[in-house]
Amino acid sequence: MIDSSDMKRGVLIDLDGAPWLVIDCTFQSPSARGGAQYTKVRIRNLRTGQVLSRSYRGGEMLPTADCEKRSVQFLYRDGDDFMFMDEESYDQFSLGSDVMGEAAGYLVEGAIVRSFVYNEAVISVELPNTVDLEVTDTAPALKGATAHAQLKPAVLETGIQVNVPPYITPGEKVRVDTRTGRFVSRANE
């Protein structure tokens, strides 16, 4: 059990028999007269990907999810299945594209991600905040282009499309934020 006033980003709670990950947390006091503190959280269901906003009174106890985080390596994609290997036990498992959702667009072979194991079954993976991906197709670079100019679309090696500055050319690696899907910078080689 965890006190609602001890909530923070990354905590796993159990609601209605499903594990939920706290993705954002804020605390509010309704008045200066000693009113009860409220905790507002945004949570994501690790099974379905559904995101909810909830409010809890200060001191309210919530059950924690019995969920283990393990480091896994992405091996390859086989149709709609994504094959992973547990880095400790070397066990291989697959997750379907319905479970992967938008995360599928940021996975390259050999990528290390965290998996969530609930009741001895892997139910979800969590990507790092940024990934480095190669640009496979984009319009030619514009001479004299600056970072403050208009953005142009670029297709990355995994097939996703992001907007990049006009000086980016095909073959370059770029860093993309997996939470927002936006260009961050050129990748450091």
Torsion angle of alpha carbons 13, 19, 25, 27, nearest 10°?
Answer: -30
**Confidence (pLDDT) at 32:** 60
Full pLDDT tens readout for the chain, 189 residues: 888 778 888 788 888 888 888 888 888 877 666 667 888 888 888 877 788 898 888 788 888 888 888 899 999 988 889 999 999 889 898 888 877 878 888 888 898 998 888 878 888 888 888 999 999 988 886 666 555 668 889 999 988 999 988 888 899 999 999 888 899 888 876
Structure confidence at residue 84 (pLDDT): 93
List phi, psi (to 5°) of 5.
Answer: -80, -10
Residue 176 has a pLDDT of: 93
Q: Can you list the domains of the chain with their CATH numbers? A: 2-62 (2.30.30.30), 67-126 (2.40.50.140), 130-186 (2.40.50.140)
Q: What is the DSSP annotation of 57-69?
A: ETT-EEPBP-EEE
**Whether the Cβ atoms of residue 135 and residue 154 lie closer than 8 Å to each other:** yes
Q: What is the C-alpha to C-alpha distance for residues 49 and 127, in angstroms, rounded to an integer? A: 14
